């Protein structure tokens, strides 16, 4: 993978090394038998393997040939999270991308997605669309090219509307909220309070898909727009009938009477045996 190549790892490590806090000094042991602290570079390499491949911490320990244990990797990860290392690295990467390539904030889309969490954990919740299995929800805002610029995470049972505020707060934290021109939301955000909330943040140009009110008759779309999934073959059949209608004869012959398949086969067989034999078409000579 590109993320695990040497030049990429060296570049990321050069950015993350100044952000790592100094190692705590161990207390003095009378026998001087403290275990030496594992190098930060080795722990960073193990965490990166975990993030890129998605394997377990035990598998990372095996990949690194037992140079660092899985418990040490998790402890170092929690230590860096508490120190804000990954948040600072994310902000650095975001601003570097904006400076080198450029974020297109004229069109920004925001929506939530559900993800499984079979082992549970803090912050997860029962998924209402997956038989109440444990999961979590990601609320992500992306620019016009699909680059994530901000996100918020909560349990799977959390409504998308509840995560709208934290997601926009994350956008404001990195200083990109004022650059958004149009914000696109689906029908799950079609509430009056959402418009007022976004207007208070300075987001006036909104594209929110309207939902049908209770008791309203949903508007019917043309056949070509509503032909999705299993209805596509119906549209194809309609078009084929319309295309072949001009080639049909003006006065077609009346349809022949048909019999069930078994009766039709029996009828043909008995009809063939009842016909008189003709010497001109018989493949074998007749006896005198």
CA distance 26 to 37: 9
Q: Taking all residues of the chain, what is their mean pLDDT, rounded to a whole number?
A: 79
* Residue 188, pLDDT score: 87
* C-alpha to C-alpha distance for 270 and 263, rounded to whole angstroms: 11
For residues 70 and 43, state if they share a domain: yes
Digit-coded pLDDT (tens) for 234-251: 544 555 455 445 545 555
Q: In the prediction, which pLDDT does 246 show?
A: 52
In a domain, 129, yes or no: yes
Same domain, 119 and 184: yes
Q: Could you list the beta-strand ranges (E) of 156-278.
A: 182-185, 206-208
- 61 plus 122 within the same structural domain: no
- The answer to whether 125 and 136 are in contact (CB under 8 A) is yes
Query: What would the pLDDT profile of 177-221 be if each residue is shown by its tens digit?
Result: 989 999 999 888 888 888 888 988 888 888 888 776 666 665 544
> Pick from 12, 20, 58: which is nearest to 39 by CA?
20
Residue 82 CB coordination number (10 Å)? 9
Same domain, 125 and 46: no
In Å, the largest CA–CA distance within the chain is 126
In a domain, 145, yes or no: yes
Domains: count for the chain: 2
Cα–chain center distance at 182:
23
Region 217-227: mean pLDDT is: 45
Answer whether residue 124 is part of any domain.
yes
Is 229 a domain residue? no
- Domain assignment present for residue 218? The answer is no
Pick from 176, 208, 240: which residue ends a domain?
208
**Domain assignment present for 240:** no
Domain containing 177 — which CATH number?
3.30.420
CA 98-103-106 angle, to 5 degrees, is 145
Q: In terms of domains, do 172 and 136 share one?
A: yes
pLDDT in tens, 1-21: 588 888 989 989 999 999 999
Same domain, 193 and 107: yes
Instruction: Specify the pLDDT at position 35.
Output: 78
Domain assignment of residue 110, given as a range:
103-208
pLDDT of 232 above 50: no
Kindly give, in sequence order, each residue whose CB lies less than 8 Å from that of residue 13, ignoring residues fewer than 6 positions away. Answer: 41, 44
> 130: which DSSP letter?
T
| Long-range contacts of 94-99, Cβ-Cβ distance < 8 Å, separation of 24 or more | 94/149, 94/174, 95/174, 97/147
The residue out of 208, 234, 258 marking a domain boundary is 208
Q: Both 56 and 144 in a single domain?
A: no
In a domain, 267, yes or no: no
Kindly state the helix (H) or strand (E) to which residue 75 belongs, with its residue range: helix 70-82
Average pLDDT score over residue span 254-263: 54
CB count within 10 Å of CB 61 equals 18
Give me 74's structure tokens: 């998790």
Q: Are residues 167 and 137 in the same domain?
A: yes
User: Residue 81's pLDDT is what?
Assistant: 92
Residue ending a domain, among 178, 208, 238, is: 208
* Residues 165, 198 within the same domain: yes
- Does residue 69 form part of some domain? yes
201 and 148 assigned to the same domain:
yes
One domain for residues 107 and 204: yes
Instruction: Say which residue, 154 or 242, is predicted with more confidence.
Output: 154
Tokens standing for 55? 């394997």
CB 9 within 8 A of CB 48: yes
């Amino acid at each position: 993978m590109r993320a695990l190549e040497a030049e990429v790892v060296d570049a990321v490590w050069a950015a993350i090394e100044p952000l790592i806090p100094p190692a705590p000094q161990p207390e003095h042991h009378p026998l001087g038998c403290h275990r030496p602290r594992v190098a930060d570079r080795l722990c960073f390499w193990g965490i990166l393997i975990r993030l890129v491949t998605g394997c377990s911490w035990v598998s990372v320990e095996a990949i690194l040939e037992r140079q660092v244990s899985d418990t040490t990797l998790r402890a170092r990860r929690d230590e860096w999270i508490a120190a804000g290392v990954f948040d600072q690295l994310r902000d650095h990467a975001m601003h570097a991308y904006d400076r080198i390539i450029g974020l297109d904030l004229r069109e920004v889309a925001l929506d939530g997605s559900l993800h499984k969490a079979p082992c549970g954990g803090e912050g997860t919740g029962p998924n209402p669309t997956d038989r109440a299995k444990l999961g979590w929800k990601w609320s992500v805002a992306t620019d016009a090219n699909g680059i994530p610029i901000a996100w918020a995470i909560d349990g799977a049972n959390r409504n998308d509307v509840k995560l709208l505020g934290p997601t926009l707060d994350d956008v404001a934290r990195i200083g990109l909220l004022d650059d958004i021109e149009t914000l696109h939301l689906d029908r799950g955000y079609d509430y009056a309070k959402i418009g007022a909330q976004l207007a208070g943040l300075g987001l006036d140009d909104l594209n929110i898909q309207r939902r049908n009110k209770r008791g309203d008759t949903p508007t019917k779309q043309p056949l070509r727009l509503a032909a999705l999934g299993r209805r596509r073959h119906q549209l194809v059949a309609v078009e084929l009938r319309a295309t072949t209608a001009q080639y049909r004869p003006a006065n077609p012959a009346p349809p022949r009477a048909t019999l069930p398949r078994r009766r039709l086969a029996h009828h043909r067989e008995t009809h063939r045996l009842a016909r008189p034999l003709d010497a001109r078409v018989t493949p074998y000579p007749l006896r005198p």
